[in-house]
Structure 1
């Protein structure tokens, strides 16, 4: 029995020593490259992606596209009932045709004939006046005849000028009315065109939000359209990190759709206003390496690389004590100066060498 107790005690001591030894994990500083980054979440967006709105209220008559269709700029998306607008347009077209200068040539020709007649009479009265004055200079005839000839000439001149004025005035009036009617037709045509909702870009229809027979208004979108091949990243960066983000910085992207893969992007735009609700800034980034299959609104996580350093002396972050100390193998607590940090490693600027052995603190 005594021998069994001694054996049991020995086994217990060995077990305790083994447990104590395994509790203190060891490591040494490693010289390697390290990068410091800031975290940002976000979504993928199609380039030029926008929500399509109708310019008018009304009932949807027909929808010309479905999700996944490729459209060109100006292609119809849907049509809204516009009987009244079509009637107004037709009425404006009739008014424009009636007011056109070409439709009023008879009125102008009539006045032109009057001008020609007045011109002939003016020439005749001018000739008679010349003859009467010549005869009066030869003491033939009377002064009264000369005065009558002068009166007839002035009357013909006035009639001729009045005919020319009336012709020019009618021409101006017709031109004005024709242009005004043409503008009214353009306005009516434009208003009529507003009842057909069209695409503003060449792209793909990602979503159709309405159905034929539903009501549409100017406040609710009817579809979502974007570029079919060009995508970018819309990131949300915390207000505490935004001052460190710069254009052109490298971004590493992970997607739930591509587990275990990382994709590279670069910062291309920083919006200079903070969202007061989320206390974050919007940052756009463009892909350097893009996934083979991608869709708008996919969620992502991003690490924006702030700075990198080659051949840095690093240790695991969980070996730090109070963010400023490490434990040496002999349990000595030593102060260190840290530099760059990522999620797993930290740079040691001073306080350790590559030959030092440190132990992991017990939590």
Structure 2
């Protein structure tokens, strides 16, 4: 991971310090300054997401290229799906047969229905026979044994009919359940087949294509990155400086693609958690006005304005010796207390005044 240098810098907005280049002398002046925090980072789309493979296989088609605009549910890539297509066809064949088995032309139900018709006819015959024997028994024209035989036959045919009717309903329920299960299997196979056709979640721009046609992709591997919306700046700020950052603060941004230009931006979000990977806090900013051409991933440096102070005493940093001494015009070396500083200017808290003339150290 790249090292991120973060420091506090000072911007001077008033006139130049009084100095004499020839004699290497200067005096301290009171000026209005801005305190700023330095941060590095990069440009990214407001909404970026990665599309990964849900299954493993060979990619047979990637119809988009980097820079293409895509709409929601656009086809992004296709993975070879011959085996899955065959499995879907098998499931559809089973479902088709199961629908036939629950229809009026079901062979199993027709067979049981025929048996029920025969059983109903037998019940009716046995009922008539039983009724006749019953009347004859009253007249004592048949024996008790013959009467009981007719009675048992009638009861037996009734039980057979009930059994067949129950068998019919059980078989129908079983076939309907099989139809539902086969329908679910078709839906499941269809859902799996959809995973072989990878589609975008929403509209946006194709930022990166990680794979090529014919390449093997494993489940979970990224295939494409898509971005949508405006550009935002992702900035890394150190632990020492994060407390100084507030939303609404202004930042001066320099992009690596425009090394000689500075673009104004505004802090819009401060992420609450410390990023262990970057060893920094993450701050997001938005351009006040977009550059003519912006590219996701562009590296940048930013100075975030944290405070404005008036009438601050400053001297050139080059006039400071050993970090805390200055040389007066009479040759005296005097210790000073400093505040904010950068490579050009240093704030003086105590030790000298505007009346003191300073000599630039020779080393």
- Verify same fold: TM over 0.5: yes
Asked if the contact 2:271/2:283 (under 8 Å) is kept, the reply is: yes
**TM-superposed deviation, 1:255:** 0.8
Q: Secondary structure at the match of 1:260?
A: coil
Q: Residues of 1 paired with 2:76 and 2:189: CA distance?
A: 21
Q: Residues of 1 paired with 2:143 and 2:321: CA distance?
A: 136
**TM-superposed deviation, 1:133:** 7.4
Q: Secondary structure at the match of 1:232?
A: strand
Q: Which residue of 1 aligns with 2:44?
A: 45
Residue 192 (structure 2) pairs with residue 191 (structure 1): yes
Asked if the contact 1:271/1:281 (under 8 Å) is kept, the reply is: no
Asked if the contact 2:235/2:285 (under 8 Å) is kept, the reply is: no
Q: What pairs up with 1:202-241 in 2 under 5 angstroms?
A: 202-212=203-213, 214-218=214-218, 221-227=222-228, 229-238=229-238, 241=240
Asked if the contact 2:334/2:351 (under 8 Å) is kept, the reply is: yes
Asked if the contact 1:111/1:163 (under 8 Å) is kept, the reply is: yes
Asked if the contact 2:116/2:165 (under 8 Å) is kept, the reply is: yes
**TM-superposed deviation, 1:139:** 8.5
Q: Which residue of 1 aligns with 2:164?
A: 163
Q: 1:281-319 CA distances to partner (integer Å, 9 max, x unpaired)?
A: 3624131413342111111112344x3143251314504
User: What runs of 5+ residues in structure 1 fail to find an aligned partner?
Assistant: 1-19
Q: Call closer, same or farther: CA 1:135–1:343 in 2, change over 3 Å.
A: farther
Q: Which residue of 2 aligns with 1:74?
A: 73
Q: Call closer, same or farther: CA 1:331–1:76 in 2, change over 3 Å.
A: same
Q: Which residue of 2 aligns with 1:286?
A: 285
Q: 1:116-152 CA distances to partner (integer Å, 9 max, x unpaired)?
A: 6656766886798789879978999765566446534
Q: Secondary structure at the match of 2:66?
A: coil
Asked if the contact 1:35/1:341 (under 8 Å) is kept, the reply is: no
Asked if the contact 1:247/1:270 (under 8 Å) is kept, the reply is: no
Residue 22 (structure 2) pairs with residue 22 (structure 1): yes
Asked if the contact 2:328/2:359 (under 8 Å) is kept, the reply is: no
Q: Which residue of 2 aligns with 1:201?
A: 202
Q: Which residue of 2 aligns with 1:182?
A: 183
Q: Which residue of 2 aligns with 1:16?
A: none
Q: What pairs up with 1:294-309 in 2 under 5 angstroms?
A: 294-305=294-305, 307-309=306-308
Q: Which residue of 1 aligns with 2:314?
A: 315
Question: Normalised by the size of structure 2, how large is the TM-score?
Answer: 0.74
Residue 297 (structure 2) pairs with residue 272 (structure 1): no
Question: Normalised by the size of structure 1, how large is the TM-score?
Answer: 0.74
Q: Which residue of 1 aligns with 2:34?
A: 34
Q: Call closer, same or farther: CA 1:140–1:280 in 2, change over 3 Å.
A: same
Aligned residues: 335
Asked if the contact 1:101/1:178 (under 8 Å) is kept, the reply is: no
Asked if the contact 2:102/2:172 (under 8 Å) is kept, the reply is: no
Asked if the contact 1:328/1:356 (under 8 Å) is kept, the reply is: no
**TM-superposed deviation, 1:25:** 2.2
Asked if the contact 2:133/2:147 (under 8 Å) is kept, the reply is: yes
Q: Call closer, same or farther: CA 1:344–1:249 in 2, change over 3 Å.
A: farther
Asked if the contact 1:99/1:178 (under 8 Å) is kept, the reply is: yes
For the aligned residues, what is the CA RMSD?
3.8
